[in-house]
Structure 1
Amino acid sequence: MLPYAPSSVAVARQYLSSDLQEWGVCETAIDDAVLVVSELLSNALRHAHPLPSGQIKVAWQCTDGHVEVAVSDGGSATEPRAGRAALSSLGGRGLGIVEYLAENWGVRHDGDITTVWALVTILAPLGDDRTSLPEPALRECI
């Protein structure tokens, strides 16, 4: 759980980047996953309510050559969807970026909690002898 505050974006990026580096994920995949979590978290902070605790949940799970990043919040009046921002727009590109970088993304609802998730392909660095990535692992920002 993280505070429902813009400063949480940098915290989540750092935790995710550290975990993926520790797990031996290649730098370009780390960059993609970190950008995706940034966009999901920024959108939640901009458009949704905090969880009942007043916080926001950010988690990721590494399995089968992918990392699933997920941001859970208290929901909003509208459903998250990728839009097509005008060239002159200052915003509105977040889920479009997620859609481009992620293999898949979606929204889950559990009562008043909304979770937006994205599945990003991760690979071991070129020249690495490993045939697989780390054992399935789940992390949550604390």
Structure 2
Amino acid sequence: MAAATPAPERLRVPHQAGAPNLVRRWLRESLPDLTDDIRDDLLVVATELVSNAVRHARPLPGGEVSVSLVAGHGDVEVRVVDGGSLTHPHVLSINLDSAHGRGMFIVSKLSTGWGARTLGDGTQEVWARIPVR
């Protein structure tokens, strides 16, 4: 018999600048068994996805952003849902001297995969998988 897939953990945070801090705290508490290296990668990726949602997208009804987490057998996946935006996240050619535009490049390097899609209700979901080595 196949092992049951763990239920995703979910957190709703205010669509504001302090949201990444709340998400980092939640992730540290939700995943205490991860090694420091994996947890650090996950925190960086989740912070970037939430920061992008706050900076570039509208909030969900209630003024929030939803973050969910699924721990799989070989990875941990973080998903961020916001109220949608006119653009989708994408990786830019980076300039190391630039103060902006490096976030999705970092996400692409730390994850085994990532993506974004607009859902039927106009909300946007962005996800990334972090390998558990």
TM-score by length of 1: 0.81
Query: 1:113 maps to which residue?
Result: 123
How well do the aligned residues superpose, as a CA RMSD in angstroms?
1.1
Q: Which runs of 5+ in 2 are unaligned?
A: 1-11
Within the candidate set 47, 62, 69, 2:78 is matched to: 69
Query: 2:110 maps to which residue?
Result: 101
Q: Distance in 2 between matches of 1:118 and 1:10?
A: 18
Kept after mapping to 1: 8 A contact 2:19/2:51: no
Q: Distance in 2 between matches of 1:94 and 1:121?
A: 18
Deviation track 1:25-67 (CA, whole Å, cap 9, x = no partner) reads: 1110000001100000111111111112211101111011211
User: CA offset at residue 86 of structure 1?
Assistant: 2.4
Q: Distance in 1 between matches of 2:117 and 2:87?
A: 13
Q: Distance in 2 between matches of 1:2 and 1:79?
A: 21
User: CA offset at residue 84 of structure 1?
Assistant: 1.6
Kept after mapping to 1: 8 A contact 2:65/2:80: yes
Secondary structure of 1:118 counterpart: strand
Alignment map for 1:1-142 (pairs within 5 Å): 1-21=12-32, 24-111=33-120, 112-123=122-133
User: CA offset at residue 85 of structure 1?
Assistant: 2.7
Query: 1:138 maps to which residue?
Result: none
Q: After TM superposition, which residue ranges in structure 1, 4 or more long, deviate above 2 angstroms?
A: 85-88
Secondary structure of 2:91 counterpart: coil
